Structure 1
Amino acid sequence: MSEKHWSRMEYLHQTVTNPNIVIKGTHSYYSDCWDHGFERSVVRYLLGDEISRDWEPLGHLDKLIIGNFVCIGAESVILMGGNSTHRLDWISLYPFMASIKDAYEFRGDTVLHDGCWLGMRAMIMPGVTLGEGAVVAAGAVVTKDVPPYAVVGGNPAKIIKYRLPVGDIERILALNLYQLPEESLVKMQPLLSSGDISALEVEVASLRQNAK
């Protein structure tokens, strides 16, 4: 069967070719079965693809930086800086070519930190950072940075709740989990797939002690 199936995932480190997309690790994926894949369907207006890689940049080029264990739902959209040529402070929003360089406004890199999850049809606007373990609800439009382990939804997206109590989030962030070798994280899967933070702390401390 050659058709895509919803159970299959596109692992980004295997498919991404744009040098302005930085992929960490080998576990971040896109649920691509309903469209043409991550680079063609999700990433919009990012220079560096096969058509635009020789174009003269309008200004500083932005990058899309994706951590490890990031889950990107089907038909999500990540808007990048190539679309930042509609000036709200000008009389006309139209991107006239005669003034296109003056119209360009650098928004900064877009960053999806380790372990975050974009629900189906989520939209991430240019220059946004999603914190570690953050969740973007299906159909949300994210215009501002999202704190670690927050759940956001709506248009524009707002914080609905945090996945865990603040104290637990602080304990997890203090572990710097995603600085560990990828193979160590995979071995810790039973703990990562649980709510036992105390056991995770013991395991991480042991790993770091043995690595000395």
Structure 2
Amino acid sequence: MPVSFLDASSAYPMRFADGRVNRGLVHLSRVIDHPNIEIGDFTYASSFDPPDDWAVRLAPYTYPGAPERLRIGRFCQIADRVRIVTASANHPMAGISTYPFAIFDPARLADYIDQITGLPDTVIGHDVWLGDGVTVLPGARIGNGAIVGAGAVVGGTVPDYAVVAGNPARVTRMRFGPAEIERLLRLAWWDWPPDRIAAVTGALARADLDALEALAPSCPA
């Protein structure tokens, strides 16, 4: 049976109490069609000033055909003013000058080709919360279930289920212990069918791992 409140096909999945559609909150997979950006179902972004082009708002340096990709998992929550700076934003730095002559004369691109190939992807896992004003730096890897505090500047690798804050972002605490994190990653609830997820929202809210496991559609070996 379809679950009305878990509708991945809806671009605008939230309504206010008076029934009006909230145009400032969008399922990104329904409003971004970009060859270098991959976004999982149910991941949303919100803005008090919603743009016409969400790809440009979130990842302004990720152009079609860029040598890197941006991958964002399912059920992520992206607050207002988040910016994801992917690797094409960087200027070549191996030479004497960092001035990007080639963007004004593509014939000079060969001078820099060895510096702009093999650029790292930026990867954000499942069920990640990026707080207001977060900046994600090129090549960052943010683990599943991580929370990134407002205004943080994130580079490098953020562990699964870590809480990070600051500039540069540092781990302030882990949300769960190692054994619990292992169980959560094995269950991967974000990949379950919507009807099964709807049945376990109480367990997710209470951090009741036993109840979550009991209702899992299957437990991988």
TM-score of the two chains, using structure 2 as the length reference: 0.78
Q: How does 1:88-107 map to 2 (within 5 A)?
A: 89-97=94-102, 98=108, 99-104=111-116, 106-107=118-119
Task: Give the match for residue 19 of structure 1.
Answer: 35
Identity within the alignment, %: 31
> 2: CA distance between counterparts of 1:72 and 1:21?
15
> 1: CA distance between counterparts of 2:154 and 2:22?
25
Q: How does 1:1-212 map to 2 (within 5 A)?
A: 8-25=24-41, 27-36=42-51, 38-48=54-64, 61-87=67-93, 89-97=94-102, 98=108, 99-104=111-116, 106-204=118-216, 207-208=217-218
Cα contact 1:85–1:105 (8 A) shared by 2: no
SS at match of 1:208: coil
The number of residue pairs the alignment matches comes to 192
Cα contact 2:75–2:190 (8 A) shared by 1: no
The letter of the residue matching 1:76 is: V
SS at match of 2:173: strand
Segments of 5+ residues of structure 2 without an aligned counterpart are: 1-20, 103-107
The letter of the residue matching 1:13 is: S
> 2: CA distance between counterparts of 1:199 and 1:113?
23
TM-score of the two chains, using structure 1 as the length reference: 0.81
> 2: CA distance between counterparts of 1:70 and 1:43?
16
Deviation at 1:191, TM superposition (A): 1.4
